Every structure is written in structure tokens, then in C-alpha cells.
Amino acid sequence: MEVVKIIGIALVAVIIIILLKQYRPEFAIYISLLTGVLILVLVMDKLAGIINLLQTLASKASINSTFLLLLIKITGIAFLSEFAVSICKDSGEAAIASKIEIGTKIIIISMSIPIISSLLEVILKVLP
């Protein structure tokens, strides 16, 4: 039923934003930002459960915990950057949004280097 809560919060926020834009358009972005944060807070329990499940599976499969931590961080960066890009685009700042996208992609690639190099080492060991 959390989906209903999220959709309800989003629809109420959209209605408030539509009404607010007529009289005080500068406050509409604050409502949008607050709504996004509220939705993120609502799903934090689910996210914590997913992370715990991944850690349990990684320990059972003998996967390096460093790699799992990197993957979780990369996923978090992707979610946060998408949130920031959406806020920027809603504010009419597409240029800043594209810079955020480029910057976070570079950060994600740089964080992925240990995983990529480890994968290449495994491939080289398998090849004759």
C-alpha cells in the first residue's frame, strides 16, 4: 500500500504546485523538492531491506564485500543524480541538469574501475 501513499503524496503535491504557480511560482520548486524528499523517506525502509538482503546474499556467495559496497554506492549516486536532474529540469535549468548527468557519469565510471579491473583479471585467468 506504500505505492498508494506515494501516488497520493505526488498528486497532492502536483495540485498544490499548479495552484501555487498562479500566485507564487517561486515556491513551486520548494514543494517539488519537499515532495521528493518525503517520498525518499517513505521508501528508506524498503531500501534498507534490499541492502541487507544483498549483503546476506554476497556473504553466502563469497562475493567481496568491497565490490558490493561499491555497487550500492554507485546505485545511490545514480538515484540521487536522477533526483537532482529532475529538480533542475522542473526548474527550467536543463543546462545544469545535463552537467549533473555528465559529472555523475564520470564519478560512476571512476568508481567502477576496481570492479572492471577485477573482472578483466578473472577473464584473463580463464583464457588460455
Rg (CA), the chain: 20
Question: Which three cell numbers, joined as nine digits, stand for 48?
Answer: 534498507
pLDDT of residue 11: 94
Mark which of 41, 63, 85 sits at the end of a domain. Answer: 63
> What are the pLDDT digits (tens) for 13-48?
999 999 988 888 888 888 988 998 899 899 988 888
Q: Which pLDDT belongs to residue 98?
A: 95
Side chain identity at 94, as an amino acid letter? A
Residues 59 and 77 in one domain: no
DSSP 25: G
Q: Is the pLDDT of residue 125 over 80?
A: yes
b (16+ CB within 10 A) / e for 7-19: eebeeebeebbee
Task: Compute the average pLDDT of residues 110-121.
Answer: 91
pLDDT of residue 33: 87
Identify the DSSP state of 27: G
Identify the domain boundary among 48, 63, 78: 63
Claim to verify: residue 47 and residue 69 sit in the same structural domain: no
Question: Which domain covers residue 35, as residue numbers?
Answer: 1-63
User: Do 37 and 5 belong together in one domain?
Assistant: yes
Reported residue count of the chain is: 128
Q: What is the mean pLDDT of the chain?
A: 89
Task: Let me know whether 57 and 7 are in one domain.
Answer: yes
Residue 48 shares a structural domain with residue 13: yes
Grid cell at residue 15: 495540485
Q: What is the DSSP letter of 26?
A: G
* Site of grid cell 554476497: 58
Q: What's the number of domains the chain is made of? A: 2
**Residue 56 shares a structural domain with residue 69:** no
